[in-house]
A and B are shown apart, each in its own frame.
Chain A
Amino acid sequence: MRIALILLISLLTAAGALPLLPQPLSAQQDTRPAIRARLQFARAGGVYDPARWRYTSDWFVYPNLFNWLVRWKPGPDPKELEADLAEKWTVSPDGLVYTFQLRRGVQFHKGLGELTAEDVVFSYQRQISDPQLTFYKALQNIKSVEAVDRYTVRITLKERDAPFMWTVVSYRPGLIVSKKAVEQLAGAFAKGPVGTGPFELVELTAAGEVVVRAHDGYFRGKPAVRQITFVHVGDENTAAAALRRGDLQIIQTRGNPEVVRLLRQDPNIKTARVIERYNLFQVQFGPDFKPAQDVRVRRALAHAIDRRAIAAALPDLDEMAMVMRPPELFGGSSDVPTYPYDPSRARQLLREAGYPSGFPITFMIQKREPETTVAEILAAQWQAVGLQVKLDVLDATTAFDRRDQGKFDITISATSRPGDPHLFFWDVFHSDAVPPYGSNFFHYKDSDVDALIDAGRITINETHRAQIYRALQRKLMTDLPIIPLFYRHLEMAWRSPVQSLTPGAFNMFWGETIKIGR
């Protein structure tokens, strides 16, 4: 028993000897609740300088710390832009000069004063001039950024760029930082960033949490919560259990049907289903997979897919996709060829392509839901039309690596490119977007497609652009370099004291939309 005693003492000593970290400051007399949220699926990057953005999953924190000149309107399917730091803006008729009028009186965190045009110019300039920063290349179409006066900023482009407001100004490269803070803190800025957002960073704890506190000088008004702690929980079941017990007040899940069902049954929990119609799950073909180079084979595989079986396996979680971009989004269209479930047509196409007895497919997937479930269903459906399908289940990093190198026959994965259609179409189908430049994993090369994508970028007239994307989709759905499967879904769930919130696109989290109450 002495051993047990010694162990107990050592345990207590070890626990007591933990380094004491600075405790989050709590505002005096502040009765607003502090909440804990699990939003990202990966551990946080630990670096919160937008110019050194590390992980896509860090979307959960950036919109709370910083603002853009113009932002996507909070919501799951960003269709329009709204004023953020800029009250209004104009674009020159030739589409090259963008002039932004800043809101007056916007305050930076930590008493660093009012935002001026200088800060905006600095935020863009520093990224344009340093190739080591994350968005260096994304900003290279900018010829100049100038402060016209204290509250006016002018950005001049080298060539026309219709999606510029979506891909730069309101997207990751466009977050505005405090010039004074970057100059004073230098390298330490990434761990103690200063923006104008509704929350300011308090600390990154040794326990891996990101703690942010209400910025009461926020120009849209005081946030309803005093503090938000972003917690990393890797396992979805654990996160759901923590929400049910009240250890967490907000969680986001990636659509494990069992978890979602459990949460919806709990009377203390509110849930919101967030369909992201720009977030497309698709079948992708490997560039060296010979059978897929014949369009008849790609069409045969598409006709062999019964989406009802997928919908049944992912009950009301995901919305099936027959087209690449749905008509309710700008640049979307339903006036395109589609490939409904028709196994006999699939067999016929395979015969015509010279594969009467099928061919072997190594189907590479990531080991996570819903990919594994969907892959099992697809494999069975393709086997039913005479193909020999073998599943190759890999961890995400290995799968990414093989995909980027083109070492696979067939895979499924999601492409999430919110906002302007150019992002998605260029990234997946342009011949310049072969990895590492983009996500054209099929190494698809079609001069007509390239021409349409390029025309979509430099055409300023919205009606003309929409026509271009309709034509592009018709061409793509005829040629079928990918097979659209379904649009991704996320589930947000929360409990008291959170009464409501607006879910964001991507993993974006809008802490300012939280409302408190029963």
Chain B
Amino acid sequence: MAGYVIRRLLAAAVQACVVLVITFTLVRLTPGDPVTAYLSRVQSEASVSPEHIALIRRQLGLDRPVVVQFWLYARRVLRGDLGISYTQSEPVLRIVFSQLPYTVQLALAALLIEVAVGLPLGVVAATRRGTALDYLATTAATAAYSLPRFWIGMVLILVFAVRFGMFPVIGVGAEGDLVDIVHHLVLPAVALGLAGAAYIARMTRSAMLEVLGEDYVRTARAKGVAEAIVLRHHALRNALIPVVTVIGVSLGRALGGSAIIETLFGRVGIGSLLVEAITQRDYALVQGAILIFALGVFLVNLGIDIAYAWLNPRIRYT
């Protein structure tokens, strides 16, 4: 097991290098120059001169060949230095870590909704197969899965925030005030998690249906084991294996979807930070945020693989 984890971590390091190269290249292939972006925003009409531009370019290290830029960047990253954001004049690492908790909160809250809504819905649909309840659950799941998150978010804001005044529209809540933080999390988490919940419901339903048809379930029922125990111990635990994979993917997707949801709900976090950094061509910040993001997804996937063993002791790591 320990050997497996180490091998996976090494693989994650290699993947991180690939992400580094791809991000570095993509960011530089994007049209638009960071210095122009910077100057257009300053609009200091009387103060822009070629010397000033050359100075900024030199400060950002953009006057050197791209290969050299990459070499210097990669060397710094290996030392744990992700560079300085030129839009915020602060180390990228500090900025990213200051924003990370907000996105992690949001992603976990969304995941909670996905699981808490999706799992029971799938189980109910499977055990009541062919009934009106099954059709209702399946239709609702299909609808929820097809709706864009942005639209769901807008509707939630208009109905639950503006019309009924139940939840705040913007912000992340006061630091340290748990109730306030959760209050601010509900709507964005629902907007982010609804599609995932629908997906999990559908996966759980089909996995459950498959398991419920197995011989050992029939045997358990024949032996007179209570239906609730059959469902919980025999069926659900086995049906969960494919579902856990989906949960892993969901968490990665929730991290990705945070860009839209954070922007819509005026929340800070890695997603909205990344959107801003891309529009301002803040190379260091874009690269740093994506790298940390990718590492996060690798770790989540590793955690999911380890969770397999807990659910199914037959899985052996080699």
Contact = CB atoms under 8 A, between A and B. Distances in A.
Interface of A: 1, 3-4, 7-8, 10-12, 14-21, 23, 38, 42-43, 45-47, 53-57, 131-132, 134-138, 167, 172, 190, 205-208, 231-235, 237-239, 241-242, 244-245, 247-248, 394-398, 400-402, 404, 417, 423, 427, 433, 436-439
B125 interface: no
Which of B46, B102, B119 gathers most chain A CB within 10 Å? B46
A381 to B, nearest CB: 28
B89 interface: yes
24 contacts: A4-B116, A4-B119, A11-B112, A19-B175, A20-B175, A21-B175, A42-B41, A46-B88, A46-B90, A57-B41, A131-B52, A137-B46, A207-B102, A207-B175, A207-B268, A208-B268, A245-B169, A247-B170, A248-B170, A397-B279, A398-B31, A401-B36, A402-B31, A433-B45
A135 B47 contact: yes
A427 B102 CA distance: 43
Shortest 5 CB-CB contacts between residues of A and residues of B = A233-B266, A138-B46, A397-B32, A242-B169, A137-B47
Contact of A207 (B32, B88, B112, B172): B172
B45 A3 contact: no
Nearest to B180: A15
Interface stretch (B14-22, B127-135, B154-162): B154-162
Contacts of A10: 108
A439 B171 CA distance: 37
B109 to A, nearest CB: 6
Interface of B: 30-33, 36-37, 39-53, 55, 87-90, 98-99, 101-102, 104-105, 108-109, 111-112, 115-116, 119, 154, 157-158, 161-162, 165, 168-172, 175-176, 178, 181-182, 240, 244, 247, 263-266, 268, 272, 275-276, 279-281
Contact of A241 (B37, B102, B162, B244): B162
Nearest to A10: B108
A18 B170 contact: no
Contacts of B244: 3
A208 B262 CA distance: 13
Contacts of A394: 31
A43 B276 contact: yes
A499 to B, nearest CB: 22
B61 to A, nearest CB: 16
Contacts of B50: 436
B122 to A, nearest CB: 13
B43 A56 contact: yes
Given A14-B101, A241-B161, A437 B264 contact: no
Given A15-B182, A239-B266, A172 B101 contact: no
Contacts of A439: 45
A389 to B, nearest CB: 22
A167 B44 CA distance: 11
B37 A234 contact: no
A402 B109 CA distance: 42
Contacts of B112: 4, 7-8, 11
B44 A138 contact: yes
Nearest to A135: B47
B275 to A, nearest CB: 8
B276 to A, nearest CB: 5
Contacts of B119: 1, 4
Contacts of B30: 398
Contacts of A46: 88-90
